[in-house]
Structure 1
Amino acid sequence: MALNTPALIAAIVFFILTLAIGVWSAWKTKKDEKKSNQIELAIVGSRRMSMLLGLFTTTATWIGGAYINGTAEITYLPRGGLAWVQAPVGFTLGLSIAAIFFVKPMRSKNYMTMMDPLQEAYGNTMAGLLFLPSLIGDVFWFAAILASLGATMSVILDVQSDLAIIISAVIVLIYTLLGGLYSVAYTDVIQLLFIIFGLWMCVPFALINTASESITKTAIKEFYQDPWIGRIETDYLGKWLDDIIYLSLGSIPWQIYFQRVLSASTTTKAKIASSVSAFACIFMAVPSVLFGAVAASTDWNQTSYGLPTPFERGEANLILPIVLQYLCPTYVSIAGLGAIVAAVMSSADSSLLSASSLFAYNIYKKILRKKASEKEIMLMMRFSMVAFCSAAAGLAFLSHSVYDLWFLSGELVYALLFPQLCCVLFIPNTNTYGSIASFLCGLILRLLGGVNALKIPPVICYPGCRLVDGVYVQLFPFKTFTMLMALATQVVVSYLIAFLFKNNIVPINWDICNVMKDKNCSTPLPEVEPEGLQLNALSMNSNESDD
């Protein structure tokens, strides 16, 4: 296949347009720097984001390249189908649940990041531990969507995917470095518009292509492969429910989401933006589902793609760009390419800003350099952006492997962070001991359940565990079971430790985490260091004076 020059020109124009908008928003933001705290402006936009802008940026953040490509792929797969397209449903439920339960307690207290309440409640050491799954999740998510873009451009433009990955990463890095949250938010607006119009413009052309049967017929009848509507076998019901709950609740404890919530001008506007974005996720999945259905209904021998089919060639993950390239006219496939590029960049910049915000504010400022100046923190935030962007671009070259690693990191966020966030917001008096126990419980149980991405077989074979195509599959909802065990462990250990200290069953001077400081105890509390990190022996003199 020869180089697709028109599509290449269109991609270059889109890159330039996105960069121009990012630079413009950065210049616009500079005017507010003298009036606002630079850190607050970069991370939460000085909490002045309008509801409409919040709606656009929240929706664009979730509608990434992996989202629209993955939805089409699952719909197309013979063993998948619409019944297994769970991400749109999961994200919709997650954003709705977050709007109802999580927005108010976070936004009303004016936190700067998602990590703030955890750091306040459980201390700096636990904040450092909890930062790790969040960082890994953001970097792997960034890498996965860059890999998605590289694969798309290799199909439509016939260029090396590495080049597309590098160019996209550099452009995202430049405007995020310059403008922080507002650069990300304003570029999200143009990117979401590209996604909407680009994808929907391609849908009619793909549907009417003569090489394809009507998708209404192939939904329930077998033509070129299994019906694309799919089905959920009884044995797989537990796994299906596990994935839905994981995608719903596991999509909440991410800084990329709470960054939008905390930047809203009011709690009400944050709730509305989150709720509307939930339904926008479903709407934006429809074109991808249709593309997957068309691919499953196509006689590829009637196209220039030929046989064997994309599934037989192992190219099911590229089914969306393949449909655009071989079932749509050239000028239409260009619009689709613009939509995919836009989807990738709208999520990539959010992941980059999320990871660097947590590191600069919660790790560097609050742990490593408590007396650091505002200028120094901003410098460290930009330095971390470069480091994280470079790491993500490097991982993107792994292609298929990076998707598996991202799924693993997402499951770790679900098992380790979601219970912690629930406890700190809704269950009073949970403490650092419970937090540590929960972290260890969630981590160990998840790893013992097997890690296919790292070729680690399961140590714990839950009911229904079986070997499918050389890979162990847990049919029991073990991801949700792991999360619930971590949650229960945090509550039980927290209250048990508090009971033991209050009743002097365990000496109060063993409280190395200072969880009983300023609590009503049956015995006098010892004096502690301000940071709560060193033990102090009980003084006999001070006890006598207290008496």
Structure 2
Amino acid sequence: MPTASPVDLIVVGVYLIAVTALGCFMSRRTHTADEFMSAGRSLPGWVVGLSIIGTFVSSISFVANPGKTFSGTWLPFVFSLSLPYAAWVATVFFVPFFRNCGSLSAYEHLEKRFGTWARVYSALFNVMYHVGRIGMILYGVSLAVTALIDVPISTIILCLGVLVIAYTLLGGIEAVIWTDVVQSIILVGGMLICLVVLVMNVPGGVAGIIEGASQPLQNKLSLGSMDLSFAKTASGSSTFLTMLTFGFFINLQNFAADQTFVQRYFTARTEADARRSVWMGAIAYLPISAILFFLGTGLFVFYQLNGELPADRKPDEVLPFFIMSELPTGLAGLLIAAILAAAMSTVDSSLNSSATLLLCDVQNRFFRRGVQQVDGSYKADDKFDLRFLRLMTIVLGVLGIAVALAMVSSRGHMLDVWWKISGILSGGTLGLILLARFTKAEGAFGAALGVVSGVSAITLVTVAHMPDLPQWLQPVYSKLAPVRDLLDPLMAVVVGTSIVFLVGAVLSKRPKQLSA
């Protein structure tokens, strides 16, 4: 693959320095723990909305989404179509709920309903999830960029990780959000440049791409089977209904059960601004994801006509190859910067939200070393809290870098393992939050049994689709054939979350029963 020119490297270097400087500049406005976590609740809705867009579009999706439509169809776009439905539920039921709950943590209210275990389980899982995600993003973007700028992958991981830690550490959530705004603009600009260059190089432009992708033997624009089924099709792909349902649950999990999104609701000036930010992120992501998928389709038609793509090139490598092969000097550097921007806007959010959870749900909940007594009441020791947040930002960043470096040595194999484990554990959190928001259930027993049942169901559906299990587990795989025939693996989180909610709703005590 061609590598970046000196001019491209200068463009990338200037971008990294500028974004890091912007983030560090925000340290002037971060003097308290609350400002570190919520930016003083002073940001306009459009700024928060752009930040949400940056969080949605990771470097993995920037490279992988075009790869999906290059090698397949538009079925993954159905995932994006579920966003407006999830956004409606979030703006009606969750944005006002979280802003009025009195805590920056997305999980403190669970303790009041189901006990301490529910809060700790949800908070610590979310922290572990984001540490793994930081590692995955750093590894993924470094793997893509190392082929473009001919720098060792471990060096890219370390440099990118240190830069993000630096401005997140100093500027807090305000630095995260404002740098996300810049990164979102760079990201969208880079996508549009790539799209224009691609369209200009395909005979007939957009119409030529659509015509080439619509050929009967290609059927590249298909949105999947319209069968009313949640099972895999005969060809092994998911149905439209499965992808739409899966997308709704995952996007609702983001809006209602992920600290990175919930925390942004508090940074907005008003509840109306917070609602607008959700709608802005959800609606804007539809055309952004459509452009990314269209890039993949266009690349397929382009290389069908030109035939210059090396035979061993993987789908995820096609867009980077096009960037370095077809874009003019300087613009290629801008596209590399866009890929890095997508990574940085995800990593900084994970760092800040995870540090917030460790302060709210661990440090101040169990140790209270940062709390001092004033006039007979308790008041937070703000200096201690701010030091704790910054220390945790460093610790979490180092852990994320370590995970990324471990993925390098394992050649990415642990990435697959991580996603399976995180998928199994994640179902319980959304189920608990839905149970707390839409029922009057209380008490630990029903909720805990619901989580155990839901996580068990997710495990069964996941294992049912893992033919590469160790030999001693093959009998289990064989017995799960009915599950495999009935449910797509994407339905695991849907089934698990639903079981947590239903079991918890049926078996939990109600307020009247508790007072009787």
Larger mean CA deviation between 11-20 and 328-337 belongs to 328-337
- The corresponding residue for 1:329 is 328
Aligned-partner SS, 1:342: helix
In structure 2, what residue type is equivalent to 1:114? A
Q: Does 1:62 align with 2:65?
A: no
* Residues 72 and 306 (structure 1), Cα distance of their counterparts in 2 relative to 1, 3 Å cut: closer
CA contact (8 A) 2:12 2:334 kept: no
Among 103, 116, 137, which residue is 1:111 paired with? Answer: 103
Q: Considering Cα pairs closer than 8 Å and 6+ residues apart, tell me whether 1 or 2 has the greater RCO.
A: 2
CA contact (8 A) 1:76 1:316 kept: yes
Matches within 5 A, 1:321-360: 321-360=320-359
Aligned-partner SS, 2:480: coil
* Residues 65 and 96 (structure 1), Cα distance of their counterparts in 2 relative to 1, 3 Å cut: farther
User: Structure 1 stretches of 5 or more lacking a match?
Assistant: 467-471, 503-515, 522-547
* Residues 278 and 171 (structure 1), Cα distance of their counterparts in 2 relative to 1, 3 Å cut: same
CA contact (8 A) 1:118 1:420 kept: yes
Aligned-partner SS, 1:450: helix
Aligned-partner SS, 2:115: helix
C-alpha distance after superposition, 1:375-413 (max 9, x if no partner): 333222222222221222222242644553554355346
CA contact (8 A) 1:198 1:335 kept: yes
Identity of matched residues, %: 17
Rounded Cα–Cα distance in structure 1 between residues aligned with 2:487 and 2:196: 38
C-alpha distance after superposition, 1:112-149 (max 9, x if no partner): 12112113333333322222321222122222222232
Q: Does 1:145 align with 2:118?
A: no
- The corresponding residue for 2:193 is 201
> How far apart are 1:343 and its partner, in Å?
1.2
- The corresponding residue for 1:248 is 251
CA contact (8 A) 1:93 1:248 kept: no
- The corresponding residue for 1:423 is 435
* Residues 189 and 94 (structure 1), Cα distance of their counterparts in 2 relative to 1, 3 Å cut: same
Q: Does 1:121 align with 2:113?
A: yes
Rounded Cα–Cα distance in structure 2 between residues aligned with 1:21 and 1:146: 21
Q: Does 1:276 align with 2:276?
A: no
In structure 2, what residue type is equivalent to 1:179? G
Tell me the matched-pair count. Answer: 481
Matches within 5 A, 1:213-292: 214-221=208-215, 226-233=218-225, 234=227, 235=233, 236-237=238-239, 239-252=242-255, 253-292=257-296
C-alpha distance after superposition, 1:199-239 (max 9, x if no partner): 1112111122259993112221167xx33213524423264
* Residues 48 and 3 (structure 1), Cα distance of their counterparts in 2 relative to 1, 3 Å cut: closer
- The corresponding residue for 1:376 is 384
CA contact (8 A) 1:249 1:414 kept: no
Rounded Cα–Cα distance in structure 1 between residues aligned with 2:46 and 2:69: 31
Asked which structure has the greater CA Rg, the reply is 1
Rounded Cα–Cα distance in structure 2 between residues aligned with 1:228 and 1:430: 49
CA contact (8 A) 1:364 1:377 kept: no
Q: Does 1:461 align with 2:464?
A: no
Larger mean CA deviation between 453-462 and 68-77 belongs to 453-462
Rounded Cα–Cα distance in structure 1 between residues aligned with 2:176 and 2:46: 14
**Root-mean-square deviation (Å):** 2.8
CA contact (8 A) 1:144 1:406 kept: no
Rounded Cα–Cα distance in structure 2 between residues aligned with 1:428 and 1:241: 29
C-alpha distance after superposition, 1:311-353 (max 9, x if no partner): xxxx222232122222333333222212111111111100111
- The corresponding residue for 1:186 is 178
In structure 2, what residue type is equivalent to 1:346? S
Rounded Cα–Cα distance in structure 2 between residues aligned with 1:96 and 1:278: 10
User: Structure 2 stretches of 5 or more lacking a match?
Assistant: 228-232, 372-380
TM-score using structure 1 length: 0.80
TM-score using structure 2 length: 0.85
> How far apart are 1:82 and its partner, in Å?
0.9
In structure 1, what residue type is equivalent to 2:116? N
Rounded Cα–Cα distance in structure 2 between residues aligned with 1:306 and 1:89: 31
Among 454, 458, 471, which residue is 1:442 paired with? Answer: 454
Rounded Cα–Cα distance in structure 2 between residues aligned with 1:232 and 1:428: 39
Rounded Cα–Cα distance in structure 2 between residues aligned with 1:63 and 1:241: 19
Rounded Cα–Cα distance in structure 1 between residues aligned with 2:97 and 2:361: 19
